[in-house]
Amino acid sequence: MPQRFRMLYIFYAIVMKFLVIIYLPLGFTLLFCTISAEDANISNLLTSLQVTFDVYGGSVKFIILSFLLLKLRKTNVLTHRLDKRCRAADEIVELHRMVRFGQKVVLLFLLNFISYAVTTFLGAVIKGHPPYAMYYPFLEWRRSNVEFFFVSLFDFFLIHLACIQQTINDAYPVVYINILRTHIKTLLLRIDKLGTSSLEQNLVELKLCIKDHQLLIELYNIIAPMTSITIFVQFTVTAICIGTGLINLVVFSNEFSSRVGCCFFIIAVAMEIFPTCYYAQCLIDDSNQISDVIFHSNWVEQSKEYRQLLIFFMQRTQRPMFLTAGKLFPVTLNSFLSIAKFSFSLYTLMENMNLKERLGME
């Protein structure tokens, strides 16, 4: 919170959180309760429905993160201590690379979500229909062009806020995973240099490496339970949204602009979990390398105390660092493929139910 204009900031935060967490899901829900028979187009309804699932999931993740934020900030102490240990040029290069990567991740997620919002907005406005036609008191977009303009603008503004919210929700696990990965890499660089000095200095460096690994374990023990909850929510939402989007794309979307919007939506939702799954898999691979690098270090000519500590260190590092979704299953690339298979299974199930015939569509 800023030191100046604190009350103004608090008012701004309350308004933004109300719009994103409360009104946005409520607006989509009221849409289905107040929609007229004239607007009850299946494709438009599914477009709003698929976003409704994602919006509710984003609000749930946002609320969870609000409670976990103080705990998440405790990692700053551990990362600061780990950063101070990076003194060699190659280790500092890894830190700078991590910072640039974090910036790119945030921009990539934001671009991914904004591209969907923009294409959906343009496609809907070209057809003469608001993007989602959410419920707004005292506004009816069919009455006049002015009201149509304001409804479309409010739709885009709220979805834009949701895109920023989803960027925060989905980028933070990737960023923290790569903080862990970067400090694992710097630790590997220090371990690889062990045994190149005097016996006493080598023993001191080994003890420091063991302490660094303990700090990494502490950091991992904070990050893993926190990301587990939000990742599980996102996995569930992604499976439902991709299934709904496929049904809309293949069965009900008859216009090119609608299909383009559906494609961007499916890509956007898939991108919410793919980077997390990919880098969680990389984290497992990186943590598995520690014991191998320890074994291949120059330990043969070291003292007995050094070799005993090295054996202890090697045993401690044989437990891989992995993330879980709701503590039910590990987050890996196989998890991403399982979510994709489940989404296609959901689409196949709905297709076999002949929804198109049941709803009397040609």
Measured between alpha carbons, how far is 49 from 224 in angstroms, rounded to an integer? 31
In a domain, 120, yes or no: yes
Q: Which amino acid is at 299?
A: W
In a domain, 170, yes or no: yes
Q: Which domain holds residue 277?
A: 6-358
Can you tell me which residue has the tokens 């990692």? 75
* Other Cβ atoms within 10 Å of 63 Cβ, number: 12
Q: How much is the pLDDT for 361?
A: 47
CA nearest neighbour of 281 among 339, 332, 224: 332
In a domain, 89, yes or no: yes
Q: DSSP of 5-22, one letter per residue?
A: SHHHHHHHHHHHHIIIII
Strand partners, 93: none
Q: How much is the pLDDT for 13?
A: 85
In a domain, 122, yes or no: yes
Measured between alpha carbons, how far is 12 from 17 in angstroms, rounded to an integer? 9
pLDDT along the chain (362 residues), means of 10: 84 86 81 61 64 78 82 86 87 91 90 82 77 76 80 85 85 90 90 80 86 90 86 81 70 63 74 86 89 83 82 85 83 81 65 52 48
Number of domains in the chain: 1
In a domain, 351, yes or no: yes
In a domain, 1, yes or no: no
pTM: 0.80
* DSSP classification of residue 302: S
Distance from the first to the final alpha carbon of the chain: 56
C-alpha to C-alpha distances, 274 to 10, 197, 325, 340, nearest whole angstrom: 35, 43, 13, 10
In a domain, 24, yes or no: yes
Q: How much is the pLDDT for 101?
A: 92
